[in-house]
Amino acid sequence: MLDRDGVINADSDAYIKSVDEWHPLPGSLEAMARLSRAGWVIAVCTNQSGVGRGLFTDATVNAIHAELQRQLAPLGGHVDGFFYCPHPPEADCSCRKPKPGLLIQAAAALSFPLQGVPFVGDSRRDMDAARAAGATPVLVRTGKGARTIADGAGLPDWIENDLMAVVTRLLNDD
């Protein structure tokens, strides 16, 4: 399971509001393709409060995800499911990370167990969502990761520079 902004693509404090603002991080698409080629199921679990804030629409989120799939396909990569929370923080929904709702949805929809499955993120709320879901939290230094590490709270044991480093360890341990 992967967080999106800051793990797959560059993040922005101004939100990723369009396909034009969506730029894969170096190596992230190849890392995802390596997982797909090795038979792994990939779920993307992402907060997209920009929808609830009126900054962009569900259609834009879906267009960004279609673009990700389009760029993954020639590499042999594929995302098996996208799960996102469109709600603003004040909605107090059950799916916004750090709550585990997105991860629980993904595991149910794609029929995989949460126990022992890595959730790779760049923020404290990703780590907390993973722990709440019974998954394995993995922090990367890309996106907000360096800031998350500097904050120092709630850090997992497993920290890597980027998604490619996580995938290399996963596939070597397999």
The Cα–Cα gap between 11 and 125 comes to 15
- Which is nearer to Zn ion, 91 or 146 (by Cβ)? 91
Cα angle vertex 63, ends 132, 122, to 5°?
A: 35
118 is an interface residue for ligand GMZ by CB under 6 A: no
Which residues are documented as binding site? Answer: 3, 5, 85, 87, 93, 95, 122
Which residues in the 12-51 window bind ligand GMZ by CB under 6 A?
12-13, 15-16, 46-49
Nearer to ligand GMZ, 8 or 33 (CB): 8
Residue 11 annotated to the active site: no
What distance in Å separates the CA atoms of residue 94 and residue 24, rounded to the nearest whole number? 28
Q: Is 3 labeled as catalytic in the residue annotation?
A: yes
Whose Cβ is closer to ligand GMZ: residue 4's or residue 65's? 4
DSSP 125-165: HHHHHHHHHT-EEEEESTTTHHHHHHH-SS--SEEESSHHH
Please, what is the minimum distance in Å from the beta carbon of residue 28 to ligand GMZ?
A: 12
Extract the annotated binding site for Mg(2+): 3, 5, 122
CB-nearer residue toward Mg ion: 35 or 122? 122
- Least Cβ distance, residue 47 to Zn ion (angstroms): 8
Tokens standing for residue 97: 């990370």
**Does residue 6 bind Mg ion (CB under 5 A)?**
yes
Give the residue nearest to Mg ion (CB): 6
Binding flag, residue 96, Zn ion (CB under 5 A) = yes
Residue 113, exposed/middle/buried by CB under 10 A (0-12, 13-18, 19+)? exposed
Two structure tokens written together for 62: 């879906």
Does 99 bind Zn ion (CB under 5 A)? Our answer is no
Q: How many residues bind Mg ion (CB under 5 A)?
A: 4
- CA-CA-CA-CA torsion sign (59, 65, 68, 72): negative
Annotated catalytic residues are 3, 5
